[in-house]
Amino acid sequence: MAKPDGYIEIRFGPRWKYISPARVFIQNFIAIALSDQAKADAIAMATSELLENAVKYGASEDTHCIVQAFPDTGVIQASVTNQATEKNAADIRALYNKIMTGDPLEAYITQMREAATRTDGKSQLGLVRIRYETGADIQLDITPTHQVTITIIVK
């Protein structure tokens, strides 16, 4: 991939209150970098969902987000990294494998119906929502020490 024209990196301790300002900042950054408000909105939603997961399930004091804009092609790449427990890393792997198969809309509807009956406080809708609503390529990387990175590439 070519060198990005715009690049931001955000690190913060896993606190819920930082997600909203991060979302707004990313939204404004992409809108300026690409002059594409709809894409800025979609990426901001997606990164917000990833940051929510990172904060909810993070096991250390570091949530790390990188957003790169490639104006020549209109491509945006965003990644969120956090340290997870072994169990949470396994759960995210299982969820990823589940929601990345089949038609994106069907997967989203199925997951919404399941979410409506959950009693554990989780929705497990973030990734499937990103997949359907942004059409992003979503990659999951988990290190042997359970550091989780989710990268989305939106064209």
11 vs 15, which CB is nearer to another protein?
A: 15
Q: How many CB atoms lie within 10 A of CB 81?
A: 21
Minimum distance of another protein from residue 78's CB (angstroms)? 16
Helices (H), the chain: 19-34, 37-57, 86-99, 104-117, 126-134
Q: Applying CB under 8 A, does 37 fall inside the site for another protein?
A: yes
CA 42 to mean position of chain CA atoms:
11
The stretch among 4-12, 46-54, 69-77, 83-91 that binds another protein (CB under 8 A) is 46-54
Residues 6 or more apart from 110 whose CB is under 8 A from it? none
DSSP 3-state percent helix, strand, coil across the chain (nearest 5): 50, 25, 25
79 vs 111, which CB is nearer to another protein?
A: 111
* 84-103 residues near another protein, rule: CB under 8 A: none
Q: Applying CB under 8 A, does 132 fall inside the site for another protein?
A: yes
Class of residue 76 by CB neighbours under 10 A (exposed 0-12, middle 13-18, buried 19+): buried
Backbone angles phi, psi at 47, to 5 degrees: -65, -35
Minimum distance of another protein from residue 63's CB (angstroms)? 14
Q: Applying CB under 8 A, does 32 fall inside the site for another protein?
A: no
What x-and-dash track marks residues 109-128 binding another protein by CB under 8 A? x--xx-xxxx--x-x-xx--
Judged by the rule CB under 8 A, the positions of this chain that interact with another protein are 16, 19-20, 23, 37-38, 41-42, 45, 48-49, 52, 56, 105, 108-109, 112-113, 115-118, 121, 123, 125-126, 129, 132-133
